[in-house]
Structure 1
């Protein structure tokens, strides 16, 4: 799982580059390669990377709810009092 997102990303970038080099000769295959490369990056490699990086983290800490807004406003007000 650690290297799978990197491998998929490299293969996808390779497909995109291959598609752009093939654009003059065979336009239909070139567009398919570019499309599959883009899909590979955004729908396979990125979710795999995000799953790997976000393991063990609390989603609640990153959500913007009323409690977190109050914490942010309180910190901001304390900084202005010290100045």
Structure 2
């Protein structure tokens, strides 16, 4: 999966560069705009969802949700940090 994402990303970078080349150096605006637009669509709808799936596939969503238990643990953690602070020198 990782190699596929890297390969697709590299291909998209190359087509993006080719689109800019067509647009600004050969002044073929229509073809350059098409390459740029298709590259943006490919990155948005193919590469980014694959990347997000790859990064989140083994994670628990519950760990990132703010529920009663997580709020309680955050408060306990903050209280323990405050109790460990050294008193300021007077």
| Corresponding residue of 1:52 | 54
**5+ unaligned residues in a row in structure 1: which ranges?**
none
| Corresponding residue of 1:10 | 10
Compare CA radii of gyration and give the structure with the larger one.
Answer: 2
| Corresponding residue of 1:23 | 23
| Corresponding residue of 1:73 | 75
Listed one character per residue, the Cα deviations across residues 2-26 of structure 1 (whole Å, up to 9, x for unaligned) are 3211111111111111111111321
RMSD: 1.5
Indicate how the Cα distance of structure 1 residues 61 and 33 shifts in structure 2: closer, same or farther if over 3 A, else same.
same
Q: CA deviation at 1:29?
A: 1.3
3-state SS, counterpart of residue 11 of structure 1: helix
Q: TM-score, normalised by structure 1?
A: 0.84
Moved over 6 A (4+): none
Q: TM-score, normalised by structure 2?
A: 0.79
2: distance between equivalents of 1:66 and 1:39?
A: 40
2: distance between equivalents of 1:65 and 1:39?
A: 36
